[in-house]
Amino acid sequence: MSVPNTLLGLLEPEPSHGYELKREYDSLFGQERPLPFGQAYSTLGRLERDGEVEVRGAEPGAGPDRKRYAITAAGVSRLEGWLHEPERPEPHLQTVLFTKVTLALLSGRAAGRLLDAQRAAHLARMRELTAVRRAGPLSRTLLADHALFHLEADLRWIDLTVARLDQLAKEIIR
């Protein structure tokens, strides 16, 4: 999971305070593993340092001033690149794919396009593994089979998600 890119995606629709970003992150992606406050604020600090977010005002609070963060053009460019770059097809990819799909829907991007690109990357990797199966000894064949079965499961998930994009959008877009 890319926390910096996810925070950029959550900031894109509108500026937000750090604690609001953490709460939204946890609500959408952190059910099993919430984002620690320290990681949220250190990530926002690095994104600000790198010119990908900017502070748009600070409000006094009980503790330190509460900063409202907004994504910059450089941040949007980074987010665009990440969303449209297919992930390396490998086991346990669904968390990253789900994050990308959710952020694409929240920002009004075509989530189906990024799933189509991911499907193409999976199919290309499956062709490579099939060649390994044919040429290799049994030990390599079994390893290739293992990877192929995981990729097949990912493809089923991609197809199911494409079929349910409208329903997912209604659920997550407030």
pLDDT for the residue 87 = 82
86/31: higher pLDDT? 86
Kindly indicate the confidence band of residue 167, based on its pLDDT and cuts at 50, 70 and 90. very high
Q: State mean pLDDT over 135-159.
A: 90
66/79: higher pLDDT? 79
DSSP of 33-64: SPPPHHHHHHHHHHHHHTTSEEEEEEE--SSS
pLDDT of 151 strictly over 60: yes
Q: State mean pLDDT over 130-149.
A: 89
Give strand ranges (E) for the chain. 16-17, 53-59, 66-71
CATH 3.40.50.150 is held by the domain 1-85: no
pLDDT for the residue 59 = 77
Q: How far apart are CA 70 and CA 51, in angstroms?
A: 11
Q: With H, G, I as helix, E, B as strand and everything else as coil, classify residue 161.
A: helix
pLDDT for the residue 92 = 61
Nearest to 24 by CA among 43, 8, 48: 8
**Residues 30/41, Cβ–Cβ less than 8 Å:** no
pLDDT for the residue 62 = 61
pLDDT of 93 strictly over 60: no
pLDDT for the residue 137 = 83
Kindly indicate the confidence band of residue 65, based on its pLDDT and cuts at 50, 70 and 90. low
pLDDT of 90 strictly over 90: no
pLDDT of 106 strictly over 70: yes
